[in-house]
Amino acid sequence: MIELRDAIPADAEAMADVQNAIHRAGLRASPVDVALIQERYLGVEHTIACTIAEQDGRIVGFQSLKLAWPGNPYDVTPGWGIIGTHIDPTAGRSGIGRRLFAVSRAAAVVAGLRHIDATIGSGNAGGLAYYAAMGFVPYREESDGAIPHRLDL
């Protein structure tokens, strides 16, 4: 059974394990360390929600929703949401992403967001299919092999 909950600082190592499993599967460009997880996902600045998916006490995925800030690395319009979904490949295609997104979407509505950006690598067929199934559509060209998608709320 999958349980969802808010991420806490003690989850950093397991969250890094999830992203590194994605890297080992060839679906992420580079590995991560705990410091990067703490900085990117567990810091409170700009965070709207960061939700953990846990199965039998093991973190198998997480989704982060942030408020875009001026000069953000994704060039997302300030005031939009920026979402990222990270699911261990051994737990994929089990409905975890859909459940995580229900939590993030509700948090986006409460936060008053009108748009959410998901920037997906052009070679990430699973990520492209997932975000399309959640209602995201491409909205601008990107030259570095990533395709920005957006969802209008």
Please answer whether residues 137 and 115 qualify as being in contact, where contact means their C-beta atoms are separated by less than 8 angstroms. Answer: no
pLDDT band at 94; cut points 50, 70, 90: confident
Helices (H), the chain: 12-24, 34-37, 96-110, 125-133
> What is the per-residue pLDDT across 33-85, written as a single tens digit (0 to 9) for each?
999 999 999 987 899 999 999 999 999 999 999 999 999 988 999 999 999 99
CATH number for the domain spanning 144: value is 3.40.630.30
Phi, psi torsion values for 72, nearest 5 degrees: -65, 155
Q: The domain containing residue 13 runs over which residues? A: 2-152
Please answer whether residues 81 and 68 qualify as being in contact, where contact means their C-beta atoms are separated by less than 8 angstroms. Answer: yes
Please state the domain count of the chain: 1
> What is the per-residue pLDDT across 124-136, written as a single tens digit (0 to 9) for each?
888 999 999 999 9
**Global pTM value:** 0.94
User: Residues 6 or more apart from 1 whose CB is under 8 A from it?
Assistant: 55, 56
The pLDDT, as a whole number, for residue 143 is 67
**What distance in Å separates the CA atoms of residue 37 and residue 68, rounded to the nearest whole number?**
18
Long-range contacts of 97-101 (CB under 8 A, 24+ apart): 97/61, 97/63, 97/130, 97/134, 98/133, 98/134, 99/2, 99/4, 99/53, 100/4, 100/51, 100/53, 100/61, 100/62, 100/63, 101/63, 101/134
Phi, psi torsion values for 7, nearest 5 degrees: -70, 145
